[in-house]
Structure 1
Amino acid sequence: VTQTLSKSRSLAGLRIGLAVGDEALIDGLNRIKDSFNSYPLDRLALAGAVAAFEDKQWFEDSCSGVIRERERVTRELEELGFEVLPSKANFVFARHPGHEGAEIAAKLREQGIIVRHFNKPRISDFLRITIGTSDQNNAMIKGLDAL
């Protein structure tokens, strides 16, 4: 099992994660880690990770907030006519039957609102919308409503 601490513990800039597994597997990962990980773990990153794991209440509050906002954003997107795929992450994948994904992303960008669009087969009509703060999400919904 691997986990990044980028989103779940708000440590994206520290580039830190963890792996839990069978001893032989972890030994193998330790032997090759320097060949693909050019970012050694420094004391600041380690201190941040330890502090993040010790503050369980903040983690629980943060997760609850993301879940609450994700559910609200999903409802509001659906009210605007979007199809929203089920999500357990800190983002939703959504498309609107009346607009192309690239068009929506470009119009939001003009308003200073950034959502991800991937020009790839099967997903080109979808937007990847990261769940932000309540204010950020409100601005995004307002921007979509104005289209």
Structure 2
Amino acid sequence: MPTQRTADPKRLIAFQGAHGAYSDVACRAAFPRMITLPCNTFEDAFQAVQSGGALLGMIPVDNSVAGRVADVHRLMPRSGLHIIGEHYERVNHHLLAPRGATLRTVRTVLSHIHALPQCSKFIRQRGLKPVVYPDTAGAAAEVARR
């Protein structure tokens, strides 16, 4: 199977985040025959489509708990791109920690700015410090490296 580096751009769908992020999951659910192209920022994902590096981009515009995704609402009007469809993705968050950690030893929670409010009750009840990370999958990878 081709990777995003070797694939025809017409088979690529750009998203913000790392492989495994909720946007990656949404891309794979909505377009199972396409190859996902991770981008560091929303702007990078828009640029991938604008430059022809990807055929499509799948970008979250609203979150049922955290509201609209402000960066996207700022970028979209001047991008020259337009919405051609929508996909709703249910998310289920999990608390991950390095091997040997327990709920008593965890002090901080790394996650996406829109995922943290979805878990705010859990975080607050345990006195944890929320730390914003670019995407959920990247946060999980960072925790695994520690």
Q: Do these two structures clear the TM 0.5 threshold for a shared fold by scoring above it?
A: no
Q: TM-score, normalised by structure 2?
A: 0.25
Select the structure that is richer in helix. 1
Tell which has more relative contact order, 1 or 2 (C-alpha 8 A, sep 6+).
Answer: 2
Structure of higher CA gyration radius = 1
